[in-house]
């Protein structure tokens, strides 16, 4: 019951601004690129992948609790507070990404379509990895320093994947034969990331 009573206060204290601004930026980006002409499926995929990474970085700021070290004796354990923050962060990121997806779909030329399930799995894993990076950093740093450290780790990971070309994200496109197999791998990775997040969300002591 205590956790239910915490939803309202924690929702009011949650840092909605970073994911809201990032979501709006992602929507604007999808709407503005090649404005006035149809948006190709390939460009839409690239923009939505970029948006997923940006939203993952922004979502991590929602896990920041400036008083984390001083609330160990609170009636509601840290892991419950952290999972509620993760739920709010996931909700904010999902709303921003879905809005951008709807804009992209509306701009597609006739006959083109997006493979939304696989793209959604990519975005979900990106956000989960972003939350995991900040949650791990939060066990060693307090406040904004944890969010910045986690965001730095996420950006470093994405930078490495951009430098290494291969039949995987972010260089994999729907027309390639490996698309389905790779996205089964993404789906299998999601529980592993969530397990790591469960470890990072434990009480500090």
205 part of a folded domain: no
- Answer whether residue 2 shows pLDDT above 80: no
177 part of a folded domain: yes
145 part of a folded domain: yes
pLDDT of residue 180: 92
Segments forming the whole domain that contains residue 152? 2-200
pLDDT, one tens digit per residue, over 60-100 is 888 876 655 544 555 678 888 899 999 999 999 999 999 99
- Token readout for 195 is 């397990």
- The region of weakest confidence among 18-22, 63-67, 100-104, 158-162 is 63-67
pLDDT, one tens digit per residue, over 28-50 is 999 999 888 999 999 999 999 99
- The region of weakest confidence among 15-24, 157-166, 188-197 is 157-166
152 part of a folded domain: yes
80 part of a folded domain: yes
- Cα–Cα dist 127/137, whole Å: 15
For residues 93 and 12, the model is more confident at 93
Domain count of the chain? 1
Q: Which residue has the tokens 């004796």?
A: 73
pLDDT of residue 78: 82
For residues 15 and 143, the model is more confident at 15
pLDDT, one tens digit per residue, over 130-161 is 999 999 988 887 778 888 888 888 888 888 88
Q: 3-state DSSP: the chain helix, strand, coil percent, rounded to 5? A: 75, 0, 25
pLDDT of residue 1: 46
164 part of a folded domain: yes
195 part of a folded domain: yes
Q: For residues 150-180, b (16+ Cβ closer than 10 Å) or e, as one string? A: bbebbeeebeeeeeeeeeebbebeeeeeeee
pLDDT of residue 155: 86
pLDDT, one tens digit per residue, over 185-204 is 999 999 999 999 999 998 87
102 part of a folded domain: yes
Main-chain phi, psi angles of 126, to 5 degrees: -60, -45
């Amino acid at each position: 019951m205590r956790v239910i009573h915490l939803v309202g206060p924690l929702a009011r204290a949650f840092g909605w601004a970073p994911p809201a601004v990032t979501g709006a930026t992602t929507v604007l980006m999808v709407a503005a690129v090649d404005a006035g002409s149809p948006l190709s499926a390939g460009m839409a995929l690239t923009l939505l992948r970029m948006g997923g990474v940006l939203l993952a970085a922004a979502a991590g700021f929602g896990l920041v609790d400036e008083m984390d070290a001083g609330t160990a004796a609170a009636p509601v354990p840290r892991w419950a507070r952290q999972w509620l923050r993760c739920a709010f962060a996931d909700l904010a990121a999902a709303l921003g990404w879905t809005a951008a997806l709807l804009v992209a779909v509306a701009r597609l030329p006739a006959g083109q379509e997006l493979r939304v399930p696989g793209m959604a799995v990519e975005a979900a894993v990106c956000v989960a990895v972003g939350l995991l990076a900040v949650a791990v950093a939060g066990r060693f740093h307090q406040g904004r320093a944890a969010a910045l450290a986690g965001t730095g780790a996420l950006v470093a990971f994405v930078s490495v994947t951009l430098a290494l070309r291969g039949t995987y994200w972010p260089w994999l496109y729907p027309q390639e034969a490996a698309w389905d197999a790779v996205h089964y791998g993404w789906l299998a990775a999601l529980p592993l990331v969530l397990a790591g997040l469960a470890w990072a969300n434990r009480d500090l002591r």
